[in-house]
A and B are shown apart, each in its own frame.
Chain A
Amino acid sequence: MHVTVISPEAATFDGPADSVIAPAFDGQVGILPRHAPFMTLLGEGALVVRTEGGERRFHVRGGFLQVVDDTVRVVTEYVEGGSDEV
């Protein structure tokens, strides 16, 4: 599935991924490929995007996450990090 992480100042991540773990407003939510259309508000915390090459971690605050047509859009007010971790 395709994942994009977008903040007002930059598109931080844009590419294919195997799974996403996001901090929703009421706890963590995991998204795997072929998830149903879904929309939720985000709280604050760690956003993990697993790709073939490893794992990317971000710290996000506010905004929302939308899944539609096997595309995940994380639109957040504030994002930091993005370091590769295996």
Chain B
Amino acid sequence: MAKGQQLKARIRSVRNTRKITRTMELVATSKLKRAQDRVRCARPYAEALAAVIGDLVTPELVERFPLLQQPKPPAQGGPERTAVIMLTSNRGLAGGFNSNLIKMTLARVGELEKAGYTVDVHALGKKGIGYLKYIGRPLATQRVDIGDKPAPHHAAEVMDGLVDAFVAGELAGVDLVFAKFNNPMSTPPTIMHILPVVPPERPAGGTQPDFILRPSADEIAERLLPLYVRNQLFRGLVETVASEHGARRTAMKSATDNAGEIIQYLQRTFNKQRQAQITQEIAEIVGGAASLG
């Protein structure tokens, strides 16, 4: 009967695990909903900014704004340093979510290093920081306090120093690795080139209306470009949070399903064994009675 007791204990333990994973699934679902709303709310702003910058930018304007210019490669005397911002979550148990982001970051860093750059990695989120420390890669900056509700000022804090360094000619570019939120099931890690700013394309065929600009285009661009740059990171943060919850929900759902399967299998084994034991006991009794008769 010892085996039976062991089976029972395992069934109990898997049941408890299933309770936990199911709860985590439900929590992620409700957080996902809120995060999804935030992604939806952030979209019109980003689109409006992008549209305006697309309207403003002309080749002459590009010459006056360092934020729009691609610096020379290091071989031709351009800056040697470049920055990669890596977004990961603070918590695990989200399937391959964080490791995919880390893999993509390391691939991008490798690419840039091959091209002759020195890469500063700025890591946001505990999981990414932990892994890079483990493989012994130094980090330029790190922070873990952004959490579930990224605000525009978080993006500004991270971005402003980098923008200054870029304008001063110390940085050749800033890339962002984040989890794009297509839908809760599809959250591919994605690279976004934040700096230099690539002005969004105007919709083809649309003629540009002759705007009355107050003040001049230059002054408007000067104010809006930093906003645009910050907003790119903000969008990355918001989408990564939504993606994290989506990935966790998927991971926890399959964990819950797997736990159910294991329970079923263990329960069957247990029943079979109990039946076998009963059969054996009856056989023994019958055998004993027969030998007496």
Contacts and interface: CB of A to CB of B under 8 A. Distances in A.
A40 B211 CA distance: 10
Interface in A10-50: 10-11, 24-26, 36-41
Interface residues of A, number: 25
Interface centre among A4, A7, A9, A25 (most CB of B within 10 A): A9
Contacts of B44: 4, 6, 11
A9 B219 contact: no
B223 A41 contact: yes
B52 interface: yes
A9 B52 contact: no
B223 A6 contact: no
B52 A8 contact: no
A64 B52 contact: yes
Contacts of B56: 39
A6 B219 contact: no
Contacts of A36: 212
B234 interface: yes
Contact of A38 (B151, B211, B223): B211
A39 B213 contact: yes
Contacts of B127: none
B219 A41 contact: yes
A60 interface: no
Given A25-B215, A64-B220, A8 B209 contact: no
B42 interface: yes
Most buried by A among B210, B214, B231, B234: B214
21 contacts: A4-B44, A6-B44, A6-B45, A7-B45, A8-B42, A8-B234, A9-B41, A11-B41, A11-B44, A37-B209, A38-B214, A39-B56, A39-B212, A40-B213, A62-B223, A62-B227, A64-B220, A68-B211, A73-B48, A75-B48, A75-B49
Interface of A: 4, 6-11, 24-26, 36-41, 62-64, 66, 68-69, 73, 75, 77
Nearest first, the 4 closest Cβ-Cβ pairs linking A and B are: A37-B209, A40-B214, A10-B41, A75-B48
Given A6-B48, A69-B209, A75-B52, 13 more contacts: A8-B45, A8-B234, A9-B41, A11-B41, A25-B214, A38-B211, A39-B213, A39-B220, A41-B214, A41-B223, A66-B48, A73-B48, A75-B49
